[in-house]
Structure 1
Amino acid sequence: MLKSRQDLRAHAERARRALREEKLRILICAGTGCVANGSLGVYEAFQHELVQRGLPYKLELVQEVEHPAVALNASGCHGFCQMGPLVRFEPAGILYCKVKPADVPEIVEEHLVNGRPVERLLYHHPATGRVVAREDDIPFYRHQVRIALEQCGRVNPEDLNDYLAHSGYQALEKVLFEMTPPDVIKEVLDSGLRGRGGAGFPTGRKWTFARNAPGNKKYFICNGDEGDPGAFMDRSVMEGAPHRVLEGMMIAGYAIGADEGYIYVRAEYPLAVKRLRKAIADAEAAGLLGENILDSGFSFRIHIKEGAGAFVCGEETALIASVEGQRGMPRPRPPFPANSGLWGCPTVINNVETLANIAPIIMRGAGWFRRYGTPGSPGTKTFALAGQVAHTGLVEVPMGITLREIVFNIGGGLREGKSFKAVQIGGPSGGCLTEEHLDLPLDFDSLQKVGAMIGSGGMVVLGQDSCMVEVARFFMTFVQNESCGKCVPCREGTRRMLELLTSVTNGKAAEEDLALLEELAQTVKDGALCGLGKTAPNPVLTTLRYFRPEYEAHVRDNKCPAGVCKDLLSYFINAEKCKGCGLCAKNCPVEAISGEKKQPHVIDLTKCIKCGTCMENCKFDAVYTA
């Protein structure tokens, strides 16, 4: 139990000394992506191999082991999910990619015993074939700046001592003993930190409102309800650096005058919930969380509330209703949560990534934070890079970086030589940007001007074979299913927009339906009750704005230029390529294909149901669509 500031400093120094004494540390990624690919089996294989060879090892930072040859740790997500399972060797920073349990004996023999990295498991540049050994030298990482993610992949998320050895809870100590609550708020205000959950509201201003709100009881809520399809930024921080989240919450609680906080995290994140619970228990046991922390007079308790996975609970007032045990539905504002939130008390809600920036800002200062980003959007932002890009994963970059830098320098361009078509940024609340926006700086204000938004940070890269109408329909399907139904514009408007988009993709829409779709989208944007409803039409409005010819081709010519919308495709057989093998006819479920053996076959378009079975079974690439 750490009962004072001096106790914390002494314990942290012991942890740092133990870290310095480690000659070799092996970190096996135990983020959700790598775990799904078998990283826990790799971890067990390392344990087994070290025992077999009689090499002593330790699993925790301050574990007493006589002459340990190696420290073996699990870590959080490294971000390079496509290359997992990942294994990092410190202090050299060597990264092994796509490691399997069967690879472990070779790694131990070559790297641990003979001191030679296993070259075949290192990163190989896809274009040049160049082998890169150090993680920081891989192009995917070289262009990143990690603040929120700096401990993910470097620290054991289930070892409090490891966090202390990496400057953990030093910011809390500084706040409790060297700063007043107004000092803390001023530092955050001066940093220019804006909320990373989507809206980009200045964090310090939100804290100021709650600090000045009347009332003896105040709450702080960490929003870990990450609902965008394909987004996993907050999940990775909660799994990889749970103590960083707790420390940010406690600093925020001290600043606004709260003594109690909640982490609202969706139940579909079991690993994040598990590690957060352990972090809370360990911090309480150490005296870093609870009553009279470090004899400072400040008390703070943290509870976990598991959500049912409703997208609308990412909206502040709906989230509060869910924590209170009610159905997660938004409430009209004002009053704003900073004045009347959880159980009618002043409440501040920040998302996970926002909180992960707090401790670094306190320790390094507002000026340091402003060295990154733009004047209006300082700092960095995490993005879940997905889609047809060569290198998918989790990235953190300075605000103001361009789409071109992310897609081509970090992401490595598009796979299979495909040409770039668009980026869907911001998830269901965001918009689609085109090639002409590749050099647009990514910050809150620039994106808003072109009809998009950063959102929570989802980024899907699309190639020329993507249908933008289908992309809009996909996101509208998600939004319509997730609408809470409280307000008419969102409940009925998204349903009608989905019907119109579906009619466009199946060739049943008229040209005037596009004008109706645009008018309806603007009506929902203007009239919906909450922020999620107001941003739901963004994918529709941006695709109509930047890809209108693609919509017009669907309704005027009954053609899908990308060849994606099945109802607008017709299947044909190239007579020159067809060998008359009969496989297409044999497998056609509706007997729409005819032809003599060893003679070109033909498809009866009046019978064809466009299932694509003929194309799948043709060995001569004779079946095509138009």
Structure 2
Amino acid sequence: MAKKEILICAGTACLSAGAEEIKDRFEEEIKKLNLTEDYEIKTVISNTGCIGPCSLGPIAIIKDDSTFYGHLKTENVERIVREHLLQGKIVEDLLTEENGEKIEDFKEIRFMKKQKRIALRNTGIIDPNKIEEYIERDGYQALKSVLNNLTPLEVIEEIKNSGLRGRGGAGFPTGMKWSFAHQAEGEQKYIICNADEGDPGAFMDRSILEGDPHSIIEAMIIAGYAIGAEQGYVYVRAEYPLAVKNLKIAIRAAENNGYLGSNIYGSDFSFNLEVRVGAGAFVCGEETALIASIEGKRGQPSTKPPYPANSGLWGKPTVINNVETLANIVPIINQGSDWFSSIGTEKSKGTKVFAVAGDVKNTGLVEVPMGTTLREIIFDIAGGIAEDKGFKAAQIGGPSGGTIPKEYLDLQIDYESVKKVGAIVGSGGLVIMDEDNSMVDVARFFLEFTEDESCGKCTPCRVGTKRMLDILEKILEGKGRRQDLDKLEKLGNTIKETSLCGLGQTAPNPVLSTLKYFREEYETLIKQAEEVN
């Protein structure tokens, strides 16, 4: 019997565009035509996580031949069921068109062709609420291999050799962080997954938790074994209800199947996992503020040292990794550190997931090898600038990042290269702006966000960001003066040097980078103000 499996994207973007109604209509039409196990065609409807190309949603893929239908409407479903499922004929007029050509195979659409999916390997392919689908794709085999064949130090060495660096923003070597916690004294240790993704325009971690929660669970168990921790926490913001729901379902399934709890795989190792839901404060993405929040305190950062690897949650050694970092652990164990380190650049190994948003034709999740150029991401994958306008700049790394102007379109996106132009890769937000954008207004938007999200604990961030925002608003209102630019730069550099945590230290970046590359826009506004007054 031939088997037809339909994958319906159930990521947040597609659900908001009507994916649930699309699924219901498929089930209705399939039932109407009696396409059940008793007939030649067996049809299975799978709710997957985010498939990736958000701008093409709602999305359905006929899994056996990878036929891709995007921009679906409920009235399209009857034709797909009758013609494609029943008669085996692809509904060509519903296919995505690129350069005047209809694209049948999902893997061949422009958005997917140049991607290399490691962290996103299962999202959009498996049903996150069915553990057996994760297991069919070698799920929990890395855990079995680790517990049966490797010592904790050997696991850490493998992660070190892979060259994996933290994907949450700082890019700190993951294996080194695990090593510090392993060496730290203490009978009780903790593993924390930082899923408090708060950057405007970023949804990488959310999509992995929604579509592939078991990969994070398995990675956390492996990390716990490596450092000697038997308790883990996933800290996720309440604004991600689908991620929280799917994660809790996955944890129960892992417990019921013996992957979480006591004596995993018959070993002496035990590990338990809990979900902690945060209220959505941006500052809780900073590790010490996150720890305070889990402990039931106000989410405010604390001075370092001590670092969490030595004294973290409840004063015990703690490893905190973000979602994307953990999503790379299982593939590294399964395929080896040499395989992973062969991808990317000399100092930035592996791939990076970006949430591409803004003024591009195709928005969504993109995973590419480190070292891929900005031009390739924008024009080869995202299809170029919307309405064929000119590219002006990219804001990378969210409000903590910086602006990359068009003269750096061929810049390699890796930790070192991006830092040289005054920005950071960050967690992976990538907002593309066309020629019509005011970069002064862009700087104000991001600074307004960080000023509002400041916890207020330290004076440079609490007062400094507010003062910078006041100056920016004065310039945009036509009341600026030339000395205001010097004030902005002086304030920005002082805040960077004296703030307590990463939020304050990076808050001035959007202003400082736009002043560096688009100073003439500030000067034009000031000149206009002087002429009027």
1:518-529 equivalence runs, <5 A = 518-529=489-500
Question: What residue identity is the alignment partner of 1:142?
Answer: K
Q: Is the 8 A contact 2:41 2:86 kept in 1?
A: no
Q: Judging changes above 3 Å, is the alpha-carbon distance between structure 1 residues 22 and 491 closer, same or farther for their aligned structure 2 residues?
A: farther
Q: Judging changes above 3 Å, is the alpha-carbon distance between structure 1 residues 204 and 135 closer, same or farther for their aligned structure 2 residues?
A: same
Q: Is the 8 A contact 2:403 2:513 kept in 1?
A: yes
How far off is 1:98 after superposition?
Answer: 1.2
Quote the residue 1:407 is aligned against: 378
2:390 matches 1:419? yes
1:554-573 equivalence runs, <5 A = 554-558=525-529
Q: Structure 1 vs Structure 2: percent identity of aligned residues?
A: 55
Q: Is the 8 A contact 1:152 1:236 kept in 2?
A: yes
2:509 matches 1:549? no
Encode CA deviations 1:296-335: one digit per residue, 9 max, x unaligned: 1110000000000000000000000000000000000000
In the alignment of these two chains, the number of paired residues is 532
Quote the residue 2:91 is aligned against: 118
Quote the residue 1:316 is aligned against: 287
The SS at the match of 1:440 is coil
Q: Is the 8 A contact 2:458 2:499 kept in 1?
A: yes
Quote the residue 1:198 is aligned against: 169
Quote the residue 1:31 is aligned against: 11
Partner Cα separation in structure 2 for residue 380 and residue 407 of structure 1? 17
Partner Cα separation in structure 2 for residue 558 and residue 157 of structure 1? 56
Q: Is the 8 A contact 2:4 2:41 kept in 1?
A: no
Structure of larger gyration radius: 1
Quote the residue 1:291 is aligned against: 262
How far off is 1:238 after superposition?
Answer: 0.1
Q: Judging changes above 3 Å, is the alpha-carbon distance between structure 1 residues 51 and 204 closer, same or farther for their aligned structure 2 residues?
A: same
Q: Is the 8 A contact 2:156 2:179 kept in 1?
A: yes
Quote the residue 1:49 is aligned against: 29
Q: Is the 8 A contact 1:110 1:116 kept in 2?
A: yes
1:531 equivalent among 485, 502, 509? 502
1:160 equivalent among 131, 139, 161? 131
How far off is 1:557 after superposition?
Answer: 2.3
Question: What residue identity is the alignment partner of 2:24?
Answer: E
Q: Judging changes above 3 Å, is the alpha-carbon distance between structure 1 residues 559 and 189 closer, same or farther for their aligned structure 2 residues?
A: farther
Encode CA deviations 1:220-276: one digit per residue, 9 max, x unaligned: 000000000010000000000000110111111110100000000000000000000
Question: What residue identity is the alignment partner of 1:52?
Answer: K
Partner Cα separation in structure 1 for residue 207 and residue 93 of structure 2? 28
Quote the residue 1:623 is aligned against: none
Quote the residue 2:203 is aligned against: 232
Q: Is the 8 A contact 2:41 2:85 kept in 1?
A: no
Unpaired segments of 5 or more residues in structure 1? Answer: 1-20, 58-64, 561-567, 569-626
Question: What residue identity is the alignment partner of 2:334?
Answer: M
Question: What residue identity is the alignment partner of 1:370?
Answer: S
Encode CA deviations 1:414-463: one digit per residue, 9 max, x unaligned: 11121011001110000001111111110011111111001111111111
Name the Cα RMSD after superposition. 1.4
1:428 equivalent among 391, 399, 402? 399
Encode CA deviations 1:156-176: one digit per residue, 9 max, x unaligned: 110000000111111111111
How far off is 1:22 after superposition?
Answer: 6.7
2:236 equivalent among 254, 258, 265? 265
Partner Cα separation in structure 1 for residue 527 and residue 246 of structure 2? 54
Partner Cα separation in structure 1 for residue 445 and residue 270 of structure 2? 46
Partner Cα separation in structure 1 for residue 249 and residue 298 of structure 2? 28
Q: Is the 8 A contact 1:291 1:299 kept in 2?
A: yes
1:143 equivalent among 114, 128, 131? 114
Partner Cα separation in structure 2 for residue 67 and residue 343 of structure 1? 59
Quote the residue 2:463 is aligned against: 492
Q: Is the 8 A contact 2:289 2:299 kept in 1?
A: yes
Question: What residue identity is the alignment partner of 1:156?
Answer: D
Q: Is the 8 A contact 1:22 1:70 kept in 2?
A: no
Partner Cα separation in structure 2 for residue 402 and residue 81 of structure 1? 21
Q: Judging changes above 3 Å, is the alpha-carbon distance between structure 1 residues 215 and 122 closer, same or farther for their aligned structure 2 residues?
A: same
2:478 equivalent among 498, 502, 507? 507
Partner Cα separation in structure 1 for residue 71 and residue 361 of structure 2? 16
2:192 matches 1:212? no
How far off is 1:68 after superposition?
Answer: 6.3
The SS at the match of 2:82 is helix
Partner Cα separation in structure 2 for residue 217 and residue 275 of structure 1? 28
Partner Cα separation in structure 2 for residue 196 and residue 426 of structure 1? 11
Quote the residue 1:77 is aligned against: 50
The SS at the match of 1:396 is strand
1:338-357 equivalence runs, <5 A = 338-357=309-328
Q: Judging changes above 3 Å, is the alpha-carbon distance between structure 1 residues 170 and 515 closer, same or farther for their aligned structure 2 residues?
A: same
Quote the residue 1:466 is aligned against: 437
Higher-RCO chain (CA-CA 8 Å, sequence separation at least 6): 2
Q: Judging changes above 3 Å, is the alpha-carbon distance between structure 1 residues 218 and 372 closer, same or farther for their aligned structure 2 residues?
A: same
The SS at the match of 1:384 is strand
Q: Judging changes above 3 Å, is the alpha-carbon distance between structure 1 residues 255 and 22 closer, same or farther for their aligned structure 2 residues?
A: farther
2:247 matches 1:276? yes
How far off is 1:67 after superposition?
Answer: 7.2
How far off is 1:559 after superposition?
Answer: 9.8
Q: Is the 8 A contact 2:171 2:415 kept in 1?
A: yes
Partner Cα separation in structure 1 for residue 93 and residue 280 of structure 2? 41
Q: Is the 8 A contact 1:22 1:71 kept in 2?
A: no
2:297 matches 1:326? yes
Q: Judging changes above 3 Å, is the alpha-carbon distance between structure 1 residues 71 and 215 closer, same or farther for their aligned structure 2 residues?
A: same
Q: Judging changes above 3 Å, is the alpha-carbon distance between structure 1 residues 400 and 503 closer, same or farther for their aligned structure 2 residues?
A: same
The SS at the match of 2:198 is coil
How far off is 1:370 after superposition?
Answer: 1.5
Quote the residue 2:153 is aligned against: 182
How far off is 1:498 after superposition?
Answer: 0.3
Partner Cα separation in structure 1 for residue 178 and residue 40 of structure 2? 49
How far off is 1:23 after superposition?
Answer: 2.3
How far off is 1:371 after superposition?
Answer: 2.0
Ranges of 4+ aligned residues in structure 1 off by more than 3 Å: 65-68
The SS at the match of 2:423 is coil
How far off is 1:522 after superposition?
Answer: 0.2
How far off is 1:558 after superposition?
Answer: 3.4
The SS at the match of 2:268 is coil
Quote the residue 1:595 is aligned against: none
Q: Is the 8 A contact 2:375 2:409 kept in 1?
A: yes
Encode CA deviations 1:152-199: one digit per residue, 9 max, x unaligned: 011111000000011111111111101110111001000000000000
Partner Cα separation in structure 2 for residue 426 and residue 376 of structure 1? 19
The SS at the match of 1:77 is coil
How far off is 1:90 after superposition?
Answer: 1.4
Partner Cα separation in structure 2 for residue 290 and residue 276 of structure 1? 16
Unpaired segments of 5 or more residues in structure 2? Answer: none
Partner Cα separation in structure 2 for residue 296 and residue 144 of structure 1? 38
TM-score (norm. length: structure 1): 0.84
1:298-309 equivalence runs, <5 A = 298-309=269-280
Partner Cα separation in structure 2 for residue 453 and residue 45 of structure 1? 44
